[in-house]
Structure 1
Amino acid sequence: MNKVSLLLLVLVLLLGAQAPLYGADISAVADSSFVRQRHRRPVFQFDQRFSLLNGKVVGINGLKGGIEFNGRLRAGLGVYLLSGGVPTDAPLPPDLPPNTRDELRFRYLVGYGEYVLIGNPRWEVSTPVQIGVGSFYSRYRLPDGKVRRSAKDQIYILEPSIASHYRVFQWLGLGAGAGYRQMLFINDKLEDELSGVIFYGRVKLFLGDLYKITRGRQKLFSQDGLRAKDWQK
């Protein structure tokens, strides 16, 4: 469980680095830590990421929603589903014929917290952390084309990462991030096969600002509020 200990240490260090900022006077924070929103608001995200699992790049699709506090802290819930199978070297059950293809599949629910380390209306860098529970099973494709599934087993997930985005317009941005997904409390072989690096690049739509545009409150390609002179006052 050395990986688990390392991840927990990283998590503690991240939270420790963030703690002093909770009590900071927002008006006195430097421009690189500017907080754009000073109230609570709902946030939703279609969250697709990729992971290198057992030598294969697989996609993981998710949807999460929560509340943002003062433009700094976001917290909520999410659900994720593996888009394809993960190859495995685990031995086949003795009752299955040779040449049976075996892959692992999983899905899970998470609670997440995300803290904005540095940022302004144009860009930000944050540290999302997800802790979750889910299930996985083996899917067997027999030589005759038939498919069998094993019974489901429970898994637990710890996923620290770092993320960033850059707003091209108020309603449109480009984002990227990377981290590590660690499966917990399953046998060591499966733990290694289902744990791995995560990474993503995405186009982000900011629905709240897009709604304002549709209501005629902003121009579609306006840079209002994004230029340094607008928020360095």
Structure 2
Amino acid sequence: MKISALTYVPCSSLLLLLGASRVAYSNAALPPDSTFVRQAHRRAVFQFDQRFSILNGKVVGINGVKGGIEWRGRWRAGVGVYRLSGGVPTRAAQPEGTPPGTHDEVRFRYLAAYGEYVFIGNQRWELSTPLQLGAGSYYTKYYFPDGGVRRTSKEVIYMLEPSVAAHYRIFRWVGVGAGGGYRQALAAGEAPEDDMSGIIFFGRVKLFLGDFVKVVRGHERLFTQQGLKPTN
């Protein structure tokens, strides 16, 4: 019986074809890589960014809001504004002639530009490395024993804040997060820098404006887990 050349396949080639088919099938059966959340288009993000610091033995809050643009699910950039909610006790020497018992505090506010890189995450959560560069003003407030108050003139201050942050999406359009880092203040004089520099820790509520608009325009359910479950 003669075997046609068109139907004859060497055993070695047949084994290679079967192996390649098996690998291709296995790869096709694997879920898509969700190490990073990739988005083809840019989208807007907005955050209520409440920060805290322990400065000169006192826990103080820095209230802030910031907004920006996210692209490819990995890069974010934008601007924010921050204001110290209470004064920070100073360690600087008081001016000559200040009455005994005078209490003084430093207060500051600043505008910041930020950049953020997401290095791991999925549809539900992520871990990122934000960096903020800010500029603003500070002043010292003196409270005298007789009830009088005096405030110094404003001085320029610069802020550098590297940190690590994480967030968890409760729904597709809103999430909560937390993180920590360090604030380095650059100001005129060593004492103001020491009074405003220190470890920071923060909590935030994050609104994904782009996803919120899509949910509203698409008449989708507002409180749903759609789009947050891992792809099988």
TM tier, shorter chain?
0.7 to 0.9
SS of the residue corresponding to residue 193 of structure 2 reads helix
Aligned to 1:31, which of 20, 29, 34?
A: 34
Which 10-residue stretch deviates more, 66-75 or 186-195?
Answer: 186-195
**1:216: how far off?**
5.6
Q: Encode CA deviations 1:135-177: one digit per residue, 9 max, x unaligned.
A: 1110001111111011222111110001111112213322111
Please say if 1:71 is aligned against 2:73: yes
Q: Encode CA deviations 1:18-67: one digit per residue, 9 max, x unaligned.
A: xxxxxxxxxxx9421231x2112222222111111111110101122222
Task: Determine the C-alpha separation between the residues in 2 that align with 1:167 and 1:99.
Answer: 50
Q: 1:33 to 1:211 in 2, by over 3 A?
A: closer
CA RMSD after TM alignment = 1.9
Please say if 1:157 is aligned against 2:165: no
Aligned to 2:179: 177
Aligned to 2:3: none
Aligned to 2:116, which of 92, 114, 117?
A: 114
Aligned to 2:86: 84
**1:113: how far off?**
0.5
Pairing 1:1-233 to 2, within 5 Å after superposition: 30-35=33-38, 37-215=39-217, 217-229=219-231
Instruction: Say which structure, 1 or 2, has more relative contact order (CA 8 Å, 6+ apart).
Output: 2
TM-score w.r.t. the length of structure 1 is 0.79
Task: Determine the C-alpha separation between the residues in 1 that align with 2:194 and 2:78.
Answer: 28
C-alpha contact (below 8 Å) 2:37/2:74 kept by paired residues? no
**1:212: how far off?**
4.0
Q: 1:188 to 1:47 in 2, by over 3 A?
A: same
Q: 1:39 to 1:208 in 2, by over 3 A?
A: closer
Query: Structure 1 residue runs of 4+, over 3 Å off?
Result: 202-216
**1:215: how far off?**
4.4
SS of the residue corresponding to residue 191 of structure 1 reads helix
TM-score w.r.t. the length of structure 2 is 0.80
Aligned to 1:24: none
Consecutive unaligned residues of structure 2, counting only runs of 5 or more, are 1-31
Task: Determine the C-alpha separation between the residues in 2 that align with 1:217 and 1:130.
Answer: 36
The higher radius of gyration belongs to 2
* Length, aligned pairs only: 201
SS of the residue corresponding to residue 228 of structure 1 reads coil
Percent identity, aligned pairs only, is: 63
Q: 1:131 to 1:56 in 2, by over 3 A?
A: same
Task: Determine the C-alpha separation between the residues in 1 that align with 2:50 and 2:187.
Answer: 25
